[in-house]
Structure formats: structure tokens, C-alpha cells
Amino acid sequence: MSKFRFEPQTTLKHSISCTGTGLHSGAKVNMALHPAEPGTGVLFRRIDVEARTATVPALFDRVTASNLGTTISNAEGISVVTVEHLLAALYGTGVDNAIIELDGPEVPIMDGSAAPFVMLVESAGIVHQNAPRRTLRVLKKIELRDGDRMVSLTPADRLTVNFEIDFDSAAVCHQSGDFLMKNGTFKAQLARARTFGFLKDVDMLRAHGFALGGSLDNAVVVDDDKILNEDGLRYPDEFVRHKMLDAIGDLSLAGARVEGHFCGIRSGHSLNNQLLHALFADSSAWCWSFGGVDSPAENMKWMQPAAVAMA
């Protein structure tokens, strides 16, 4: 029988705020990160809408769009757009519970990476809470394919990520990367990797109301075989590092720490989210674990009691 090891949940020590621009809307947005009670998880609160409809829990089954980022919505149709970089930063710094207030529909893009959000968390500080941390333990392989794209989760004793990308651009081409989540690795290896896009797509995206706030200040822009950003890349393989960052943000929507190995080949937000749906649909493929002691798969409504009750 496994012996219970108390691993506490965490939250922010203090509230902290920032102001930025929405990548797609181009609108100014103010955001504040607040401490939250144990069991809250990550909960977004839109302060620009009616209070009773304002909360949106960061859970995989609240994803309503995933083509150019991850959008989550509540039952009343209130949405929060481009949540993945902030969620990756919270997961990567080990924050379990937080309330995120926004006065608009989109998380600010900042510099296009998770590094500014990591800095916010470090400035606010992290405190332990008197409640055991819950982990989602992957028990068997779940794999999805869509043409030449693939994602999978397999059992592992902590979160590891393997990703491959392949773009028809000499500047990006084929890249692969591996990542092991442990203390400090997210900040050191992935946090500064920026989102990227191709110059040939900009006019089309803006004609459809996307990337209105995009610029060389918050994205790596590729033109055929050239990087247009004056300072170049932050890492030689910045593109695949950012895809791993995105995957961690998407996996955090499981509502718990993940013990499993994620593999992605040409995957994106949509397929990442479908993978979580497939995992949770198979009760033999996962279980909750508390301090090393497994608990059977439970009613999904229990995943984040405080968040669900408020949504």
C-alpha cells in the first residue's frame, strides 16, 4: 500500500496586476491575479460584465474555440480568449489556485511568451495551503491522430513533453524538443519562447478580426526564410519551445497537476484539447492521486468544486 505524502496546494501570496494588449482584439486590457482558496483551481472573472455571469473556470470542457489560441467560456456564453500562456506560467511556477480578473475578453499578450506572467507570479510570491494537492495520473496510453498530426498521453511519474513541428519555411523547418517539468525548468527552458506567425498570413487574419494587436513586439514573424524581428530568436529552437509551452497551458485545463508523458507531432490547441476529452472519457485511463495515494476516477463535477459552483 502506498504511503501518503502531504503535498500542499499553493496560491499567490499577494495580488498583483498588469496592463497589456489583446493579441487578437488589439484592445487594452487590465488584468489582476489574486490568491484563492484551496480547491478553487484557476478561475477567470470578467469584471466588465454582470457579476452573476462573470466567472469562467479554466477547465478542458469549457474550451469553445481553439483555432488561433485557446478560448474558454461559461454556460452563459461569457468567454476569455488566449488563456494558454498565462495558464502555462501558473502551471510552470506551481500555482494551483488563483482568481484572474480581467476588464475585457482577452488575456494580454505581453511579449508573446509566458515570461512576463512568470515574473508577475514571482513578484506576488507563492504560499502553501493546508490542503493536499491533487494530481491527475495517466494509467494507460491515449492517442489521437488527424492526418499527419498526432497527440498522445502515456504513463509517467511526472509531466514530460515531447514535441515535433514541421513547417514549409527554411526559417522554421523541422524542429523537435523534449521537456521535463521540475523545479525551475519551465522558467529556464520554455517561458521566454514567443508565439510566432507568418507574414503571408497577416492580412488574411486581420481581415477576419484576428491578430489586430500583433506586432514584432509580441510575436516572432517569419517571412519565407527570414526572421523579421530585429533581435532575432531567443533560442535556436524557439518555435518548438513555444509549442511545448502552449501544450502545457492546454494540459493545465485538466484541473490538476498531470503525471504523464505528452507527445505532440504537428499538434495545436484543438487536438491538445481533444486529447483531454478522450482521456477523461475513459475512466480506466486515469485516476486522481493525493500525496502518492491513488483515488478512483470520480464524478467530473467534483474536479473544481469552488469554480463550478461559481460558474
Domains in the chain, CATH or no CATH each:
8-310 (3.30.1700.10)
Select the more confidently predicted residue: 269 or 198.
269
Residue 3 neighbours by CB distance under 10 Å? 7
pLDDT band at 308 (very low <50, low <70, confident <90, very high): very low
Give pLDDT, residue 106: 96
What is the structure's pLDDT at 207? 77
Active-site residue flag, 269: yes
Among 34, 128, 269, 277, the active-site one is: 269
- pLDDT per residue as tens digits for the range 10-51: 999 999 999 999 887 889 999 999 999 999 999 999 999 988
Q: What is the pLDDT of residues 156-189, one digit of tens each?
A: 999 999 999 999 888 898 999 999 999 899 999 9
Q: Letter for the amino acid at 123?
A: S
Q: Look at 113-122, 138-147, 216-225, 274-283 and tell me which has the smallest mean pLDDT.
A: 216-225
Buried b / exposed e over 12-32, threshold 16 CB at 10 Å, is beeebebebbbbbbbeebebb
Do residues 151 and 266 make contact, with C-beta atoms less than 8 angstroms apart?
no
Residue in 284, 243, 297, 285 with CA at minimum distance from that of residue 155: 285
User: Of 248 and 201, which is predicted with more confidence?
Assistant: 248
**Amino acid 201: pLDDT:** 80
